[in-house]
A = this chain, B = another copy of it.
Amino acid sequence: MKNENFENIVIGAGSGGLTVAIGLAMQGKKVALIESNHVGGDCTNVGCIPSKTLIHLAANYQPGDDIGKILEKVTQKRDDLRIKETDEVGKIDNLHLIFGQARFTGPKMIRISSDDKPAREITGKNVIIATGARPRLLDIPGLPVDRMLTNESLFDITTIPDHLAIIGAGIIAIELAFAFRKLGTKVSLIALDPRALPTYSPDVSAAIQPELDKLGIETHYNATGDSFDESTHTLTIRSAQNTYPLNDVDKVLIAIGRIRNIDNLGLDSAGVLWGKTGIIVDGFGRTNVKGVYAVGDVTPTSAFTHSANAQGRRVVQKIAFPWLPLKKSEPLVPTSVFSDPEIATVGLSQSQINKKYHSNLIKSLRVDLKSLDRGYTDDVENGFIHVDVIRLTGRILGATIVGPRASEMISFFTLAISQKISLYKLFPLVYPYPTYSSGILDIADNYLKETLQNLPLELLNFLRYRLMK
């Protein structure tokens, strides 16, 4: 058995792992990158790339288009990118791509095993765990395996289901519900949650629900799939004490959450601590064991590709440029959902604000997109920009956008919040007309009017409540 030393060992070649491995290799550091399946991880293979391709093609779908070709294109683009990334990673100097299962045999010692090659053991000064997560499954008695889908199998289908039951109401469930419905599939969404996107604020769910309804996506909340009868293709739904049938179900997509890939890592051999929400890390991805890092879905970070990348970049900076004066706190991580309309948020959520500040210290401002001229020309019915600020100072704490281009609009607020730019400074800006962004002016305008007209009261509230909670 070989026992080779690498300066850095990265376990997992998904978004987070690739960011670290490529980043370190580019700085001349020797890196072993271990992958048990495909380079690109979830994002390239079973996540963002195929799902956004599908969402794009579904948005442009016209009745009569060949759906087989659309599905083929999704698979093809996924495969092309996987091959390209694997090829590129293989060519990077200092980067050694090793396929196999990695398992700690000591704090800095990793055993790599695979079916077709003898096991090898490697050691490293730094080990970065980026093993990601996998879909949580749900046992639905009677449901044949070939009718069950997760995001891991979904993008290999070659025919479109007539009727797709989606279990779950989170981001993956909602994005795919919109996409498949646009392709003509009957979509039934079944979730134990009381509303769509339960991790977002209720006003987000309230804006998305009518859009689901409009497209004819059937939603069953406070409910789950109870059993399946293959002879009649009936999915029995259970809601509290009641059950009722959902007929003619072809496929069942399970999207009820994700499980971090921790169990088979041998973390005990390394002494790395983890909890219910993943491997415990600080703002630089450092675990409790010096030299052992973790990034991406395997940590408690938000499960977005961009947050895994951001974590990975900070690990690279910490390892390659330890003298850099980095901010201790992690940067603001926006969220985005590619539903229709899109959803994007950044900063503190409304519930986080409620916990941290007295409600009298906060001013919530909202503009509905339908009140804007762009909303009028584009027939927008639902969607809004919501901003929470500190009274008097106008300091922005958080922003939520539901609208056709929310994912591209949110970075404006990421910048504003990061740079501590108040609503007073957003007021003199000129926003192109007619855009949804011009709603930001309405928000700043309303804030200024309300504040200036009630200045003594605003000042009083600010002074009274600013230190409460």
Contact = CB atoms under 8 A, between A and B. Distances in A.
Interface of A: 15, 43, 48-49, 52-53, 55-56, 62-63, 77, 81, 304-307, 309-310, 327, 331-336, 344, 373-374, 376-379, 405, 407-412, 414-416, 418-419, 421, 425-426, 428-438, 440
Contacts of A436: 408
Nearest to A440: B411
A432 B335 contact: yes
B408 A376 contact: no
Nearest to A403: B408
Contacts of A419: 419, 421, 425
Nearest to A311: B430
B408 A408 contact: yes
Nearest to A330: B430
A432 B336 contact: yes
Nearest to A452: B321
Nearest to A445: B313
A416 to B, nearest CB: 6
A139 to B, nearest CB: 32
A377 B418 contact: no
B415 A379 contact: no
Nearest to A421: B419
A416 B415 CA distance: 8
Contacts of A430: 306-307, 309-310, 331-334, 414
B405 A429 contact: no
A48 B440 contact: no
A265 B407 CA distance: 47
Contacts of A334: 430-432
Contacts of A15: 433
A327 B336 CA distance: 36
A304 B62 contact: no
B434 A305 contact: yes
Given A327-B428, A377-B77, A415-B412, A433 B333 contact: no
B408 A435 contact: yes
A436 B327 CA distance: 26
Given A49-B373, A411-B435, A415-B421, 12 more contacts: A52-B377, A56-B377, A77-B377, A332-B429, A334-B430, A336-B432, A405-B405, A411-B412, A411-B429, A411-B431, A415-B416, A419-B425
A438 to B, nearest CB: 7
Nearest to A373: B49
B410 A52 contact: no
A42 to B, nearest CB: 12
A419 B417 CA distance: 13
B437 A376 contact: no
Given A331-B428, A421-B419, A433 B377 contact: no
Contacts of A409: 408-409, 411
A304 B309 CA distance: 39
Q: Which of A77, A374, A418, A432 has the most CB of B within 10 A?
A: A432
Given A48-B433, A48-B434, A81 B376 contact: yes
Contacts of A48: 373, 377, 433-434
Contacts of A307: 430
B432 A410 contact: yes
A136 B183 CA distance: 46
B429 A418 contact: yes
A309 to B, nearest CB: 7
Nearest to A326: B428
A464 B356 CA distance: 51
17 contacts: A48-B373, A53-B378, A305-B434, A309-B433, A332-B430, A334-B430, A335-B432, A407-B432, A407-B437, A408-B436, A408-B437, A410-B432, A411-B412, A412-B412, A414-B430, A415-B415, A419-B419
A306 B77 contact: no
Contacts of A379: 56
A304 to B, nearest CB: 7
Contacts of A331: 428-430
Contact of A432 (B306, B376, B433): B306
